[in-house]
Amino acid sequence: MLRFKHIKFAYIAGGKVYSVTTDKSVENQRVKLTVTNEDGVISASVTSVTPIELLRLSAEFEYEFKSISRVFLNGYQSWTDSTEHPINGRLRGVDHIPKPIADKYAFSQYGDYTFTRYSLKKGVMHGFSYGYIRNYDVYDFIGSLNEDSGFTTIRTDCAAGRVLAFKECSELHIENSFEGLKLYIGRGSEDEVFDKWFGLMGIAKRDLPRIHGYTSWYRHYQDISEEILTKDLEQSDLGKDDIFQIDDGWQTAVGDWLSIDEKKFPSGLKAVTDRMAELGKGKAGIWLAPFVCEEKSELFKSHKDWLLKDKNGRVVKGGSNWSGFYALDIYNEDFRAYLKEVFDTIINKWGFGRLLKLDFLYAACIVPRKDKTRGMVMADAIKLLRELAGDTAILGCGVPLASVFGRVEYCRVGCDVSLDWDDKPYMKLMHRERPSTRNCILNSVFRRQLDGRAFGCDPDVYLLRDTETTMTASQRKCLAEINALTGSVWFTSDNAEDYGDEQKKMYEDASALFGCRILSAELNGKELVLQILRDGKKELRSYDMRDIPELPVKKLMP
Which sign, positive or negative, has the C-alpha torsion 429, 435, 436, 441? positive
Residue closer to ligand 9PG, measured from CB, 63 or 217: 217
107 binds ligand 9PG (CB under 6 A): no
Quote the strand ranges of 210-295, DSSP E. Answer: 211-215, 243-246, 283-288, 292-294
* Min CB(126)–ligand 9PG separation in Å: 19
Residue closer to ligand 9PG, measured from CB, 9 or 217: 217
Task: Give dist(CA 535, CA 269) in Å, integer.
Answer: 44
248 binds ligand 9PG (CB under 6 A): yes
* Min CB(221)–ligand 9PG separation in Å: 8
Residue closer to ligand 9PG, measured from CB, 376 or 417: 417
Quote the strand ranges of 218-371, DSSP E. Answer: 243-246, 283-288, 292-294, 317-319, 325-327, 355-358
Task: Give dist(CA 15, CA 29) in Å, integer.
Answer: 16
Query: Residue number with the shortest CB distance to ligand 9PG?
Result: 248
Residue closer to ligand 9PG, measured from CB, 287 or 446: 287
Angle between helices 437-446 and 473-486 (to 10 degrees): 30
Region from 163-171, 184-192, 331-339, 431-439 binding ligand 9PG, contact rule CB under 6 A: 431-439
Task: Give dist(CA 487, CA 17) in Å, integer.
Answer: 48
Task: Give dist(CA 371, CA 173) in Å, integer.
Answer: 6
Task: Give dist(CA 126, CA 75) in Å, integer.
Answer: 8
Residue closer to ligand 9PG, measured from CB, 88 or 321: 321
520 binds ligand 9PG (CB under 6 A): no
- Binding-site size for ligand 9PG (CB under 6 A) equals 13
Region from 16-24, 432-440, 463-471, 476-484 binding ligand 9PG, contact rule CB under 6 A: 432-440
Task: Single out the residue of 365, 371, 373 nearest to residue 308, CA to CA.
Answer: 365
Among 9, 110, 335, 543, binds ligand 9PG (CB under 6 A): 110
State CA 151 to chain mean position distance.
Answer: 14
* Min CB(495)–ligand 9PG separation in Å: 18
* Min CB(461)–ligand 9PG separation in Å: 8
Region from 4-12, 387-395, 399-407, 433-441 binding ligand 9PG, contact rule CB under 6 A: 433-441
Site string (216-235) toward ligand 9PG, x via CB under 6 A? -x------------------
Site string (465-504) toward ligand 9PG, x via CB under 6 A? ----------------------------------------
Task: Single out the residue of 166, 117, 149 nearest to residue 373, CA to CA.
Answer: 149
* Min CB(319)–ligand 9PG separation in Å: 6
Residue closer to ligand 9PG, measured from CB, 79 or 139: 79
422 binds ligand 9PG (CB under 6 A): no
CB 211 within 8 A of CB 241: no
Region from 156-164, 234-242, 429-437, 468-476 binding ligand 9PG, contact rule CB under 6 A: 429-437
458 binds ligand 9PG (CB under 6 A): no
8-state DSSP, 417: -
Q: In which element (H, E) is residue 504 found?
A: helix 501-511
* Min CB(254)–ligand 9PG separation in Å: 8
Residue closer to ligand 9PG, measured from CB, 47 or 252: 252
Among 44, 397, 419, 441, binds ligand 9PG (CB under 6 A): 397
Task: Give dist(CA 532, CA 516) in Å, integer.
Answer: 7
Other CB atoms within a 10 A radius of the CB of residue 386 amount to 13
252 binds ligand 9PG (CB under 6 A): no
Say if residue 309 is exposed, middle or buried (CB neighbours under 10 Å; 0-12, 13-18, 19+): middle
423 binds ligand 9PG (CB under 6 A): no
61 binds ligand 9PG (CB under 6 A): no
Task: Give dist(CA 455, CA 538) in Å, integer.
Answer: 26
* Per-residue burial over 13-52, b = 16 or more CB atoms within 10 Å of its CB, e = otherwise: eeeeeeeeeeeeeeeeeebebbbebeebebbbbbebeeeb
359 binds ligand 9PG (CB under 6 A): yes
Task: Give dist(CA 411, CA 389) in Å, integer.
Answer: 15
416 binds ligand 9PG (CB under 6 A): yes
Task: Give dist(CA 393, CA 415) in Å, integer.
Answer: 21
432 binds ligand 9PG (CB under 6 A): no
8-state DSSP, 434: S
Other CB atoms within a 10 A radius of the CB of residue 115 amount to 16
Residue closer to ligand 9PG, measured from CB, 248 or 261: 248
148 binds ligand 9PG (CB under 6 A): no
Among 287, 410, 421, 455, binds ligand 9PG (CB under 6 A): 287
β-pair type (211-215, 31-38): unpaired
Region from 82-90, 96-104, 427-435, 518-526 binding ligand 9PG, contact rule CB under 6 A: 427-435
State CA 337 to chain mean position distance.
Answer: 26
Q: Is the backbone of residue 209 left (phi > 0), alpha (psi -120 to 50) or beta?
A: beta
420 binds ligand 9PG (CB under 6 A): no
244 binds ligand 9PG (CB under 6 A): no
HSE-CB at 145 with a 13 A cutoff on CA atoms is 23
198 binds ligand 9PG (CB under 6 A): no
Residue closer to ligand 9PG, measured from CB, 140 or 433: 433
Among 47, 321, 472, 511, binds ligand 9PG (CB under 6 A): 321
Question: In the complex, which residues of this chain contact ligand 9PG (CB under 6 A)?
Answer: 79, 110, 217, 247-248, 287, 321, 359, 397, 416, 433-435
